[in-house]
Amino acid sequence: MPSTVRPDLCEVSLRVIAAGQAASGAFVASPTFSQYRFAWLRDGAFIAEALDLVGELGRAARFHAWVAGIVLGSADGLERAIVKARSGEVPSTDEYLHCRYGIDGSRSEGQWHTFQLDGPGIWLWAVAHHARHGGHLDDAVHDAVRLTARYLAATWPLPCADAWEESPEHVHTSTLAAIRAGLDAAVVLAPDLAGETEVGGTRAAISARLATSDGPYTKWQGSHSVDASLLWMVAPYGSVAVSEPRFAATLARIEDELIDADGGLHRYREDTFYGGGAWPVLAAAYGRVLLRRRAPGDLERAHAALRWIEAQADARGLLPEQVAGCAFAPRHIDEWRQRWGESARPLLWSHAAYLALHAELETLGRG
């Protein structure tokens, strides 16, 4: 069943992303939301992946060059972070890679859980994705890949905030999955890393850590909550097969607990951020997982996910971070609106996620 594609939403999405890319190559998360006028490694890596899928390699390359500049400019601190992490010590703020930066590469100020390890992992994965799609990687990017891989190989067991900037006291399953995907990508880009105990051993250790439990993957070891960010293990990382029993059980719980009747997808059941609404980036990830599962009806459901995202666009075609129509905790919506205003719109990551799902559906249609 073909989707009723809003004719201009791909074009609008590309314009929004282009307008949100600074001269430095960084992507601002949202130009209109006070807390998101920074560039996240995570958001930017997913945006770069979508740009690769639609042939915008130049913009993706500029982002990767910007991240490489940050990594190499932070080399002394990262080397200290590696030493500390090997002793189980959390590096200081002037040593680790931050989750977000100013568009000029400066560390962001303000109260934020800046120590996050998923972003560098997703960036490594996105660099390899860029290379597979014909992107050129210069020496600086290669050097930054090697340093980032060593940094993640040392820091991976440390607690840090998750993909949602929350719960920094835990080691998160989705973060471990992002690090493993990044290290797998790094050894493709620099094959000699696979033979180093530091990197090769870490890949095995993370795989062992992820395999320590039966049943579905959860937010962290000991948690009973399932998190929709775990979809990324299959799409886009491709580091777990959609039929793998633990992922299949995870997907079943996500479908049972986190999807609204109208097709919106929430982060996790206990979410209270802006009421715990539904996120376009997660609807897109779900659609992409369905395209890999290909059970009866999955193609139609993937098209439905695309249509749900399209329905969230405003009259200008701008997509939000989340929508509160079926919020899990509606009593919390006003407190966030009073603190920061309405939920971010546009969110560049939402537009990128739409482009990625649209591109995969279009490719299937041509096949």
| Each residue's pLDDT tens digit, 192-250 | 887 766 888 888 899 888 887 789 999 999 999 999 999 999 999 999 999 999 999 99
Give the three-class secondary structure for 53: helix
Long-range CB pairs of 209-216, under 8 A, 24+ apart, other chains included: 209/176, 210/173, 210/176, 210/177, 210/180, 213/246, 214/246, 215/246, 215/249, 216/246, 216/249, 216/250, 216/252, 216/253
Q: Which of 95, 162, 227, 271 is catalytic?
A: 162
106-119 pLDDT, tens digit per residue, is 998 777 899 999 99
Is 321 catalytic? The answer is yes
Distance CA 235, CA 241 (A): 10
Residue with structure tokens 């120590």?
A: 115
Q: Which of 165, 166, 196, 298 is catalytic?
A: 165
Rg (CA), the chain: 19
- Whether the per-residue pLDDT at 75 is higher than 90: the answer is yes
Mean of per-residue pLDDT scores for the chain: 94
pLDDT band at 12, cuts 50/70/90? very high
> What confidence score (pLDDT) does residue 367 get?
61
- Mean pLDDT to the nearest integer, 329-352: 97
> What confidence score (pLDDT) does residue 195 get?
73
> What confidence score (pLDDT) does residue 270 get?
97
Q: Is 236 in contact with 292 (CB distance < 8 Å)?
A: no
- Whether the per-residue pLDDT at 57 is higher than 70: the answer is yes
State what percent of residues in the chain have pLDDT above 70.
97
245-254 pLDDT, tens digit per residue, is 999 999 999 9
Tokens at 269, concatenated = 């059941």
- Whether the per-residue pLDDT at 5 is higher than 70: the answer is no
- Mean pLDDT to the nearest integer, 163-186: 97
DSSP 40: E
Q: Which of 43, 118, 271, 321 is catalytic?
A: 321
318-331 pLDDT, tens digit per residue, is 999 999 999 999 99
DSSP 330: G
Other residues' Cβ atoms within 10 Å of the Cβ of residue 62: 18
> What confidence score (pLDDT) does residue 77 get?
98
What's the one-letter identity of residue 220? W
- Mean pLDDT to the nearest integer, 53-79: 98
Q: Is 269 in contact with 257 (CB distance < 8 Å)?
A: yes
The beta strand positions in the chain, using DSSP E, are 39-40, 100-101
What's the one-letter identity of residue 354? Y
pLDDT band at 2, cuts 50/70/90? very low
Distance CA 240, CA 245 (A): 10
DSSP 39: E
What string of DSSP letters covers 313-327? --TT-PPPS-B-TT-
> What confidence score (pLDDT) does residue 197 get?
65
Q: Is 161 in contact with 99 (CB distance < 8 Å)?
A: yes
Q: Is 126 in contact with 51 (CB distance < 8 Å)?
A: no
> What confidence score (pLDDT) does residue 1 get?
43
CATH numbers and ranges of domains, the chain:
1-20+216-367 (1.50.10.10), 38-212 (no CATH)
Task: State pTM to two decimals.
Answer: 0.96
Is 165 catalytic? The answer is yes
The answer for 329, left when phi > 0, alpha when psi is -120 to 50, beta otherwise, is beta
